[in-house]
């Protein structure tokens, strides 16, 4: 007779009773895998290099040890994030953890008044700074932020920060941080540039991994429609009628985000858009409206591929394939969060065989092709693919064990569009 192992609870992770009471009040009982692995190590004061996909509970994984440390000693903590949306999301969680102990946080991002940020940075009970690299550099240059009392530094979604071109700012920030500090770095992928940062700025970090790089989020049903460009909108309209819950739609460019939003609004849908041309207030309104149900549909560029934590998104639609293959995983990770069921539907034109095969290679799965009468194409064009097959079945492996892909774009190496088009 076998005995089922009792799952760990937050009470097993070295967390102090006061914080446990707050966690209980937040209705959390069973920690996620990244929380189980990272929290005990972080509580011990160790540097951590964490590999985990979006939606796995990383914010609590670093937030709980952070609040516990700030309760035990004076000083502050810094959380670096790549986007404004992620900063707002992290702040929401940290407020729930820290406010009961009068440990307050401040958001330091672009699009908000710098003078007001500077005033908040000097308040004694502001002990957590949540910042994007560019705006933090502005405050460092103006000497309105003093990093000398930082006890803990977190880099969240570090790979996304590098993808967005923040490597120079991250390096400059790291050089002015106090040497005696604890550093936690979390990333969904672990490219060479991340390992370089870890080697330069972390002290013997403990590697924590809960999902392999490129792993598809669990419990997400994925479907692929091969469709001509002029049939995308009619197909989307049919799909939207088949689902009743909230829908997040990804496009490749800001122009397409606006165009699609207007087209669907004219059809009577409650909808808003999210992209980098929107003001901070407009972005907050769109995101909050999506969370509260004011808008059933949110159309976004890859700015929303990470950092949006909205409960119960029923469907993610990739209206356009992403420029960077790995963003496919981050996009579909907006549904099926915290172990819940989710659905992702992807549109690909007959000439996008290479991009689809790169996605399949990255995730080591074959996307299920679906058809909608009268709207979908027969398959990929012969010009781009004579016969579609899962690319991971057609690999050569050198002695390194790394897959070498023949005749397709290597995952993560799709040609990038100019940033002003996103």
Tell me: do 165 and 253 sit in the same domain.
no
**Which among 188, 190, 161, 187 has a CA at the least distance from the CA of 174?**
161
pLDDT reported for residue 412: 41
Tell me: do 247 and 340 sit in the same domain.
yes
Backbone angles phi, psi at 162, to 5 degrees: -70, -40
Tell me: do 196 and 301 sit in the same domain.
no
- Is residue 214, in this structure, part of any structural domain at all? no
Domain tally for the chain? 2
- Is residue 14, in this structure, part of any structural domain at all? yes
- Is residue 422, in this structure, part of any structural domain at all? no
Tell me: do 147 and 19 sit in the same domain.
yes
CA-to-CA distance for 333 and 316, rounded, in angstroms?
9
CA-to-CA distance for 346 and 370, rounded, in angstroms?
10
**Which among 246, 378, 255, 239 has a CA at the least distance from the CA of 310?**
246
In terms of DSSP bridges, do strands 342-348 and 220-226 run parallel, antiparallel, or are they unpaired? parallel
Tell me: do 37 and 124 sit in the same domain.
yes
Tell me: do 351 and 329 sit in the same domain.
yes
- Is residue 92, in this structure, part of any structural domain at all? yes
**Which among 173, 205, 216, 419 has a CA at the least distance from the CA of 316?**
216
The last residue of one of the domains, among 184, 209, 234, is 209
Tell me: do 176 and 312 sit in the same domain.
no
The last residue of one of the domains, among 161, 183, 209, is 209
> What b/e sequence results for 370-402 when a residue is b if at least 16 CB atoms lie within 10 Å of its CB, and e otherwise?
eeeeebbeeebeeebbeebeebbeeeeeeeeee
pLDDT reported for residue 342: 87
pLDDT reported for residue 218: 63
- Is residue 189, in this structure, part of any structural domain at all? yes
Tell me: do 250 and 340 sit in the same domain.
yes
The last residue of one of the domains, among 176, 209, 242, is 209
Q: What is the dihedral of CA 3, 28, 294, 107, to 10 degrees?
A: -130
Q: What is the domain-level CATH number for residue 268? A: 3.40.50.300
- Is residue 318, in this structure, part of any structural domain at all? yes
Residue 125 contacts residue 103 (beta carbons within 8 Å): yes
Tell me: do 101 and 228 sit in the same domain.
no
Tell me: do 256 and 331 sit in the same domain.
yes
- Is residue 303, in this structure, part of any structural domain at all? yes
Per-position pLDDT tens, the chain of length 422: 444 456 689 999 999 999 999 999 998 888 989 999 999 999 999 999 998 876 678 999 999 999 999 999 999 999 999 988 889 889 999 999 999 999 999 999 998 899 999 999 999 899 999 999 999 999 999 999 999 999 999 999 898 888 788 989 999 999 999 999 999 999 887 888 888 888 888 999 999 988 655 555 567 889 999 999 999 999 999 999 999 899 999 999 999 999 999 999 999 999 999 988 888 788 889 988 998 999 999 999 987 776 666 778 999 999 999 988 878 888 888 887 656 678 999 999 999 999 999 999 888 888 989 998 888 888 886 544 444 444 433 333 333 333 333 333 333 444 444 444 34
Tell me: do 404 and 347 sit in the same domain.
yes
CA-to-CA distance for 152 and 4, rounded, in angstroms?
37
CA-to-CA distance for 137 and 145, rounded, in angstroms?
9
CA-to-CA distance for 24 and 329, rounded, in angstroms?
31
Say how far residue 32 (Cα) sits from the centre of its chain: 16
- Is residue 3, in this structure, part of any structural domain at all? no
Domain span at 76: 10-209
Tell me: do 256 and 198 sit in the same domain.
no
């Amino acid at each position: 007779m076998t005995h089922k192992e009792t799952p760990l609870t937050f009470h097993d992770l070295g967390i102090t009773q006061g914080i446990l009471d707050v966690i209980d009040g937040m209705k959390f009982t069973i920690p996620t895998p990244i929380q189980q692995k990272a929290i005990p190590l972080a509580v011990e004061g160790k540097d951590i290099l964490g590999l985990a996909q979006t939606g796995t509970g990383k914010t609590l994984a670093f937030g709980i040890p952070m609040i516990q440390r700030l309760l035990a000693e004076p000083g502050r903590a810094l959380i670096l994030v790549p986007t404004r949306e992620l900063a707002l999301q992290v702040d929401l969680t940290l407020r729930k953890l820290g406010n009961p102990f009068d440990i307050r946080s401040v958001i330091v991002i672009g699009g908000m008044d710098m003078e007001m940020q500077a005033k908040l940075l000097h308040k004694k009970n502001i002990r957590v700074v949540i910042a994007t690299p560019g705006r933090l550099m502005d405050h460092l240059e103006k000497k309105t932020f003093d990093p000398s009392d930082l006890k803990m530094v977190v880099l969240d979604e570090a790979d996304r920060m590098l993808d967005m071109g923040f490597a120079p700012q991250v390096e400059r920030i790291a050089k002015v941080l106090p040497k005696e500090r604890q550093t936690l770095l979390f990333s969904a992928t672990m490219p060479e540039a991340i390992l370089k940062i870890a080697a330069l700025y972390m002290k013997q970090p403990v590697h924590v991994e809960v999902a392999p790089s490129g792993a598809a989020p669990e419990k997400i049903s994925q479907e692929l429609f091969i469709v001509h460009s002029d049939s995308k909108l009619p197909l989307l309209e049919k799909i939207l009628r088949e689902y009743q819950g909230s829908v997040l739609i990804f496009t490749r460019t800001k122009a397409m985000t606006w165009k699609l939003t207007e087209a669907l609004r004219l059809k009577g849908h409650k909808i808003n858009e999210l992209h980098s041309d929107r003001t901070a207030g407009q972005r907050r309104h769109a995101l909050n409206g999506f969370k509260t149900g004011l808008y059933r549909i949110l159309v976004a560029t890859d700015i929303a591929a990470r950092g949006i934590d909205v409960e119960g998104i029923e469907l993610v639609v990739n209206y356009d394939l992403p420029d960077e293959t790995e963003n496919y995983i981050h996009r579909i990770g907006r549904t099926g969060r915290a172990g819940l069921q989710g659905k992702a539907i992807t549109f690909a034109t007959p000439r996008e065989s290479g991009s689809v095969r790169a996605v399949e290679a990255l995730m080591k799965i074959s996307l299920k092709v679906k058809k909608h009468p009268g709207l979908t194409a027969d398959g990929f064009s012969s010009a781009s693919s004579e016969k579609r097959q899962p690319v991971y079945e057609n690999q050569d492996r050198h002695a390194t064990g790394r897959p070498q892909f023949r005749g397709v774009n290597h995952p993560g190496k799709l040609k990038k569009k100019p940033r002003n088009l996103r």
